[in-house]
Amino acid sequence: MIVAYFLSKYDKAAYVQLGFPSKTATHKEIGRVLGINPNSVKNMRDEFDPLHDNPRVGWYQRPLRPSRAKVVEAFQDMLEEELRDVIIEILNNSEFSTTDEFGDIIKTITEREKAPKRKPVFIVRGPTGRKAEEIYIDYHRETGEPVTGKLFDKRDQGCGYDFEISNAHKNIKVEVKGLDGDVGGIMFTSKEWDIANKNGNSYFLVIVRNISKKPSIKIIQNPASILKPKKYVFTTAQVRWNVTDSELSRI
């Protein structure tokens, strides 16, 4: 599942980095190393495809299974080169699977698969969110809601919100969440929810529903005073390089 997630998220770059002559050859070699049918590699990759901006449609007809959701939760914040390191370890280092760190990740994923079926508790960041944000940019240009003013793009600045709107009288923060259908929940990161609480009436949540067909927009002022989200804590995988005391002593 972790390897398949890498192939889906980074698509062409992932296949190139693994160094096999074709996608079919890549699936075949991964299947050989992991002891599974090469078609299973492809099918697992397709399960993740609806989350990512690649040419494949994937298995959009059904919700993400719990174990697949846990893979996304654990690895979605990794840079390509970091996740690639994990994949190379999985495929080439037989001792990697015996480490405590990797064991903890696999255990968490396995437990999630066996857990009772329930609705997803998170929305994966990706094309859905980006499309919702672009829809809101056009919406604000046309309507000036929730306030008129100059719209500043803060999406890539790590501020904890997507946009800032300023005029002569006020300065507000806007967070945009997207849903592919008419129903579903949303996720706040810890930083986003903290910003929402601190800014009160100067913070607006924009929910864009049904973004792929006929988008509808709902705007909520001061969502922290209205919504009662449930807190979830997830294990996120990280790549670390440890230097032992004996190694340091040799220098």
How far lies 103's CA from each of 27, 68, 124, 182, in Å?
A: 24, 17, 24, 38
Residue bearing the bigger pLDDT, 185 or 20? 20
Please state the φ and ψ torsions of residue 163, each to the nearest 5 degrees.
Answer: -140, 155
Segments making up each domain of the chain, as ranges: 2-114, 127-225
As a whole number, mean pLDDT of residues 163-179 equals: 93
Band (123; pLDDT cuts 50, 70, 90):
very low
User: What fold characterizes domain 127-225?
Assistant: Trna Endonuclease; Chain: A, domain 1 (3.40.1350)
Site of tokens 């996304």: 72
Range with lowest mean pLDDT among 95-104, 112-121, 165-174: 112-121
> 205 in helix, strand or coil?
strand
At 233 the pLDDT is: 54
Q: What are 32-61's pLDDT values in tens digits?
A: 999 999 999 999 999 888 888 778 877 765
Average pLDDT, the chain: 84
Tokens of 232: 């979830």
pTM value is 0.58
Phi-psi region for residue 4, left (φ > 0), alpha (ψ -120 to 50) or beta? alpha
Tokens of 12: 């062409």
Residue bearing the bigger pLDDT, 246 or 62? 246
Q: What are 190-248's pLDDT values in tens digits?
A: 889 999 999 999 999 999 998 878 899 999 999 999 998 877 655 566 666 667 767 77
Residue bearing the bigger pLDDT, 49 or 139? 139
Band (119; pLDDT cuts 50, 70, 90):
very low
Residue bearing the bigger pLDDT, 213 or 2? 2
